[in-house]
Amino acid sequence: MMDLTMLEMIDNRLANFFPQPEFYDVSPFSIENLRDCIIMFILKDAYYLTEPKQSLRENRGTDADDVRMRDSRSIAYAQHYRDLQYNHVKNDLGIEIPELLSEDVETMRGKLRGHNITPMQYFELNTLAYHPLLKAIVNKRICDVKKVSNVTFLEYMQDYDKLVKLLLKKLDGSDEDVIFGTIALFTLEWKYNVELFYSCAVNAEKVGVQDVPIHRLAGLCAELSIPLAPYFTQMLHTESRFVLHRLKLVPAIYNASESDWDEVKDKICHYQTARYYIEREIVRKWDMAGFFARYTTREQWAQFFREHYDLRQIFATKEWNNKRIRYMRSIYSAMIKDQPTP
């Protein structure tokens, strides 16, 4: 079991936020699920802290010209969007995230040192290089049937599903495999929303809906601005990242009455607000990611993922038809931000 004192701090703070948990422990997910989400974020950060950085050459295991050039293109492409994200967060939210900025590889010292990244970062670069669906989502080509035909759409999705299956196999492997597979799957679904949007397409088809309920869906995957209690004079800017549990809410997006959806929306706001204060008052103040990195074991992390954050349940075998493909295009068109391409 991971350090009880640190986890008890989170539990006690949650108890202060939710003195009547019976009102929250009903669908779609409970306070305990919220706690697991918070711990997931901490362990993910702890993993990034402890992963060794190494050169691109060491990560790829070869110095072949074609692979080296591919890595250079992938880094330049990914950094373009990281720069856009840095400027957006700085200009719109007033927050600077220096780790989004590129490494210095222009000066002589920087050139000698080169790019140093972790295996997980290298994996994320390779997903863009090798899996065309992801790039088509980021640049919104996926939205246009003239740019990505239905046949090509299906090819992209089949390729993506193969990637997911390889990562899902890791969840049955060693502790390191479980940790890597869980964080990689989490990141893929958080960034690209394939499973969430597919579930939306299926539910929209069931009820005969063609429009995208943008405001409801935004609560599950978009940047949110929430007034903070108790005075409501400050806005919380956050992203909804309840990746493991949010698919349970998809039927309500399409079936719930306005009053029922207001209850769901309030619950999401309460959960996001609680997470914000816990991250500010406990996770960051006490450097819980650093604490977990130093004083807990990889075996404990893997055990937590196996018992509390098994992502197998969100990945579905997909059955495509023209309606579902068309609806997926509509969702990506509505929910993905327009950005200049490299």
d(CA 170, CA 312): 11
Whether 14 maps to a domain, the answer reads: yes
pLDDT of 270 reads 83
Whether 89 maps to a domain, the answer reads: no
H-assigned helices in 104-235: 108-113, 119-130, 132-138, 150-170, 175-192, 194-207, 214-221
Neighbours of 292 (CB within 10 A): 23
pLDDT of 25 reads 64
Secondary structure percentages of the chain, helix, strand, coil, to 5: 70, 5, 25
Whether 71 maps to a domain, the answer reads: no
d(CA 317, CA 274): 34
d(CA 285, CA 9): 12
Cβ atoms of 175 and 299 within 8 Å: the answer is yes
For the chain, what is the domain count? 1
DSSP 8-state code for residue 90 = I
- Which residue has 């997926």 as its token pair? 328
- Mutual angle of helices 31-50 and 175-192, in 10-degree steps: 110
d(CA 333, CA 85): 19
DSSP 8-state code for residue 228 = P
- The boundaries of the domain holding residue 24 are 4-51+193-333
What is the token pair recorded at 304? 């937590």
Whether 113 maps to a domain, the answer reads: no
Containing 87, the helix (H) or strand (E) segment is helix 65-88
CA dihedral sign, ordered 46, 52, 53, 58: negative
d(CA 335, CA 330): 9
Whether 173 maps to a domain, the answer reads: no
Whether 32 maps to a domain, the answer reads: yes
Beta strands in the chain (DSSP E): 54-55, 116-117, 223-227, 235-239
pLDDT of 103 reads 57
d(CA 247, CA 270): 18
What is the token pair recorded at 299? 């075996």
Cβ atoms of 250 and 203 within 8 Å: the answer is yes
Cβ atoms of 201 and 327 within 8 Å: the answer is yes
pLDDT of 232 reads 44
Whether 137 maps to a domain, the answer reads: no
Verify cis geometry, omega within 30 degrees of 0, for the bond prior to 28: yes
pTM (predicted TM-score): 0.86
pLDDT of 111 reads 39
Low-confidence ranges of the chain (pLDDT < 70): 1-6, 24-28, 81-82, 84-86, 88-115, 223-241
Residue type, 211: D
